[in-house]
Structure 1
């Protein structure tokens, strides 16, 4: 069985089973390019069909979400939960509320989560969920009614030892709070079934900062391994949301200079550097005023480029922190031409496969998202631990644990991705993440 395990033959079968799911196909191909050669060298994984099993979700749940808007109109959305793999722990992964949510997007995110969660070293499996509901422009009451309806159905499929969702795009503290309250009413118990909660009822310090901080720490580890540092480096950051802003803050703290931020309308370029005062302004602009990044350019008299991404500016380091496939081959060529030496992905799959290959071939140090942005789920895992033990660690203690986790992830990538004097961080992350999950699946037998 599985005599032909070439990448193309494997992908042909996967695409046939999952038609039109282009994001999922892309995520699997990126992993398959590293993992299939390793499987061929280790026949026990091949004989057990591990890669075939690992690319099929344990289950996919799709449900209707009915809610009432402020005008009394009945609205209908679609809800999802993809429980991908629980070989090393209960399903764990975010909920995304955004019109772009499709089954393909959630399957790609849940599949990536399998490797990301494995790399953290914590006992957590992988999942992802959400809805095509758009919280933007909705009142608090409308968001509450939607979240309560969403949780009324999701309630049947999650639990502190089964599946522990978290936040993602469109799901912040407000949405988590409404869903946790509804779960508590339905279950008649207070358990840590969601992460990303407020500190007042079981949340963890620096959870909102963790993905951005972790991304900067991962870059720091890559630079250190190559006898470099963040000090004085010019940094291009995309996005202006939670991950991008906290990544920018940590870059500043580590001695770098952030010169770009972006949103869906375009990007700003501030060669003087986006310092803490300016980041405070962007935080208020995006979270309170719901404004556009172009307003920054008006306030601080810098350049604004509508309908463009920030990868054309001169920079030493790049941090794509916005969304998937925001960095393509044209952007990769621009970064290489302008002297970019390293990239650390803060978003999930923000670089196309062809662009990733182009950057690696040019010698750019490339930190893939499943390793570089694992800080968020790592702190979610620590929140689960704190909930189980009925205690709360200090912000300093949690951040120290985050630093250690990101350092350990980096070291695993080096161990499995070393190729002479260079490190293939993509290969290292994929193989290190694969081994732990695959060995657990082997131990369970055929299941």
Structure 2
């Protein structure tokens, strides 16, 4: 089996050299899915996984825009249309200096499995630009977004490709992007998700990824007869996902000890309660400040510069920042300190070595393609509401989100439960996501 996996990975590496993030994502899937393929004649010999790792379409384009000083700036724009076997391409747009082809292909590949797990009819895609919104004025961001959409609009549509937000792309950016799309196409359609509530957006969408991550962790804990009640929780990040993950933890009776950003993390041993969380939301969303400013208001807290929060003793860890933020050493520290559950809110925040540590220790571990699928699931619900020209209540959307996360959890158990009762959620998520897409691809022939 190892030989078959290695031969597959060698071929993928030859075709995608210099793309470490993408190769990491493919390797993690291949190691669990290929043994399943070999055992099932319907897939074996059809090169289904090889077809899945090759994007159906890769789009790259130049984005020229004018800054406030009148100088013309040039950025790169991308859209990876990975797989449309079960529905139109669906996935976020990321605006960040680190954006490149490798990162977007990894995100698009993960998105295929994530969208499949939701059971909603959505294919996988991802896109973005190396543009950095930080430090830019609203007018500069508007001009960039309009220029970006000036090229992207020809490649997307409500039944073709439906982008959403991601890092660096929030409600403001979605508004600018949608405005230009509407002008260029002269139509009002649900081509972007994450829209404002007054013009086609869905209630719960901003909260969905963070809420969904906690709902998934709650499902894992319930399998063990446990809950968030009274648990100490370490959360990384301080953006949208981290904020709402922390909010839901508080609602379920947990105690949030940490939040972070690229500069470091804060540790509040008294707990980040609802009032303190509201302060963080205003700090990050309105003032666009740094998490270190927290200790200026709450002096009993500690700020640790240049580190992630995984050295803090906790019962549950929710990595909600970025890829590969939690390494092998961090994993060993968490396990040593008694952590019983890790649920990924970001995309691939744990390294391969860290995941091995969690599995060896037999603790609960949820991969992002399953546990952070709440965001895209609610985007799918937004697409449905747009098609119906209808809006569900907050309670209705939240209940649908809970149900989707519970169904994803059940799928992971179906394909990931070992003979000894331990649930390998990584294997479960990979195989469950693969089966739905692979079946659709086989049914549609070689296209």
Q: How far did 1:364 drift?
A: 1.4
- Return the alpha-carbon distance in structure 1 between the equivalents of residues 122 and 409 of structure 2: 19
SS state of the match for residue 182, structure 1? helix
Query: What's the counterpart of residue 320 of structure 2?
Result: 321
Query: What's the counterpart of residue 18 of structure 2?
Result: 20
CA contact (8 A) 1:263 1:293 kept: yes
- Return the alpha-carbon distance in structure 1 between the equivalents of residues 152 and 296 of structure 2: 44
Q: How far did 1:43 drift?
A: 2.6
SS state of the match for residue 443, structure 1? helix
CA contact (8 A) 1:332 1:358 kept: yes
Structure 1 residues not aligned, in runs of 5+: none
Query: What's the counterpart of residue 198 of structure 1?
Result: 196
- Return the alpha-carbon distance in structure 1 between the equivalents of residues 132 and 265 of structure 2: 23
**1:43-84 deviation line (CA, Å, top 9, x unaligned):** 321221101101100010000001111111011100000000
**1:266-325 deviation line (CA, Å, top 9, x unaligned):** 111111110000000001111122211111123212111110110011100000000000
1:439 matched to 2:414: no
Q: How far did 1:432 drift?
A: 0.3
**1:326-366 deviation line (CA, Å, top 9, x unaligned):** 00001011001100001000000000001101111011110
Query: What's the counterpart of residue 136 of structure 2?
Result: 138
Q: How far did 1:4 drift?
A: 9.1
Structure 2 residues not aligned, in runs of 5+: none
TM-score, length basis structure 2: 0.98
Query: What's the counterpart of residue 406 of structure 1?
Result: 405
Query: What's the counterpart of residue 389 of structure 2?
Result: 390
Q: 5 Å matches for 1:142-161?
A: 142-161=140-159
Q: How far did 1:165 drift?
A: 0.2
- Return the alpha-carbon distance in structure 2 between the equivalents of residues 317 and 4 of structure 1: 33
SS state of the match for residue 193, structure 2? coil
- Return the alpha-carbon distance in structure 1 between the equivalents of residues 29 and 374 of structure 2: 20
Q: How far did 1:143 drift?
A: 0.6
Q: 5 Å matches for 1:70-89?
A: 70-89=68-87
| Structure 1 runs of 4+ with >2 Å offset | none
Aligned with 2:57 (options 51, 56, 59): 59
Query: What's the counterpart of residue 218 of structure 1?
Result: 216
Q: 5 Å matches for 1:151-300?
A: 151-300=149-298
- Return the alpha-carbon distance in structure 2 between the equivalents of residues 236 and 72 of structure 1: 44
TM-score, length basis structure 1: 0.98
- Return the alpha-carbon distance in structure 2 between the equivalents of residues 49 and 290 of structure 1: 47
- Return the alpha-carbon distance in structure 2 between the equivalents of residues 157 and 40 of structure 1: 36
Superposed CA RMSD: 1.0
Deviates more, 1:400-409 or 1:300-309: 300-309
Q: 5 Å matches for 1:33-72?
A: 33-72=31-70
CA contact (8 A) 1:214 1:375 kept: yes
1:424 matched to 2:424: yes
Query: What's the counterpart of residue 89 of structure 2?
Result: 91
- Return the alpha-carbon distance in structure 2 between the equivalents of residues 4 and 322 of structure 1: 33
CA contact (8 A) 1:88 1:125 kept: yes
Q: How far did 1:254 drift?
A: 0.6
SS state of the match for residue 44, structure 2? helix
Q: How far did 1:181 drift?
A: 0.6
CA contact (8 A) 1:5 1:36 kept: no
Query: What's the counterpart of residue 306 of structure 2?
Result: 307
CA contact (8 A) 1:328 1:355 kept: yes
Q: How far did 1:145 drift?
A: 0.7
Query: What's the counterpart of residue 363 of structure 1?
Result: 362
- Return the alpha-carbon distance in structure 1 between the equivalents of residues 293 and 130 of structure 2: 28
